[in-house]
Amino acid sequence: MGILKVSAMMACHLALVLSAISVTPFVMHAAAQSDSGDTVSQANDDNAVAQFESFGSFRAYMMTAEDAAGTYYSVGAKLTFTMESDGTLELAQGDDEPTITAQTDESTDFECMEHGGGYNQRTAWFPYTAIFVRGGALERVRSAEGGVRKLRALSKEEDGSAKYLGEFPRPVEYSFVPCVGKHRVDPGLRLDSYLDGKDRLLLRMANGKQMNLRLPQPFVPFLLARYRSGAMIPVPVRIVVASIDLLDRRVVLQLQSTVAMSPPVRKLELRAVMKDTEPADDETAARFRERTRAVIDDLARCGRPVDQAIEPCADPTRKPDMRIFLPGGKSPTND
């Protein structure tokens, strides 16, 4: 298992960015080998750190961190999409953008590398989504209901990062490194909250043509938090960085979710309801549809973290939609 600790210099910079919110050294864990070929860390019972496993096409890792929200797990992941000329997106096959690892040199965190901006991935929590574009510009983000989301222009900082410095800033503004893969781009934009999986993005390419982008539907990534108490709780996973390369026809999403370390968690599983998600081997089509609908409905009821980390729905006492786990949502009875 790889261990990543933030240097004193990096911890100091994080504290400055977060307006003196203290951040303890991160510990990064990679994923236990699963059938999908993903990697992540095994934890033993002695250190009380949850196991982490990733299913599907994610490049994923887990960190532990402590700040004003408390001590928590921060799961980070990436998904890479290829882009057709009409804006159609499909999951990349074999050319995924990598994430940082425990061996990634912190001194390069403010540079744009093959893995993008390391600083973005080392930040344990973001309260909103930043969007960076190469070969064009983002003009509008529209919700599935038709509303236009507020976009705020980021400004370049001396260290190469970008942060919102305009009117009506939040008490704490978070910095990003404006990277599209290994390419440094203009400072970009941020939303006031998180980009939703159903949102539509209108972009203007360098040749003046417009392009509409929307993720393949459905797009609902989530964590399944398995608590030591026995509770199983679905937790939303947020889009925190979207890098759009209109020249190389590629979109990379950086995803993130935060879960308190107490009450103790036995295992975190990164999963998703996506276009190509298939039923389990012994699952009927009807049961698959019921379970999928239940996951989507349950997560849609979850509030968003606003002022500090930890997802409100990451609570072992909450009652999830039981159709996720049992047909009809009812416990089996003994005749």
Q: What is the pLDDT of residues 250-302, one digit of tens each?
A: 999 999 999 999 999 999 999 999 998 999 999 999 999 999 999 999 999 99
CB 79 within 8 A of CB 36: no
Residue 335 lies in a domain: no
What is the rounded distance in angstroms from the CA atom of residue 311 to the CA atom of residue 299? 11
Helix%, strand%, coil% for the chain, nearest 5:
10, 35, 50
**Coil, strand or helix at 277:** coil
Q: Is residue 50 included in any domain, yes or no? A: yes
pLDDT of amino acid 27: 60
Give the residue numbers spanning the domain of 267: 8-329
Question: How much is the pLDDT for 30?
Answer: 60
Q: Is residue 33 part of a domain?
A: yes
What tokens does 279 get? 């039923």
Instruction: Look at residue 47 in the predicted model and tell me its pLDDT.
Output: 52
Residue 101 lies in a domain: yes
Domains contained in the chain, number:
1
Q: How far is Cα 4 from Cα 214, in angstroms, rounded to an integer?
A: 35
Task: Say if 1 falls within a structural domain.
Answer: no
Q: Is residue 263 part of a domain?
A: yes
- In angstroms, the CA 32 to CA 29 distance is 10
Number of H helices, E strands in the chain: 3, 21
Give the chain's residues under pLDDT 70.
1-47, 331-335
Cβ within 8 Å of residue 94, ≥6 positions away: none
- Whether 2 is covered by a domain: the verdict is no
Q: What is the pLDDT of residue 22?
A: 32
Residue 163 within a domain: yes
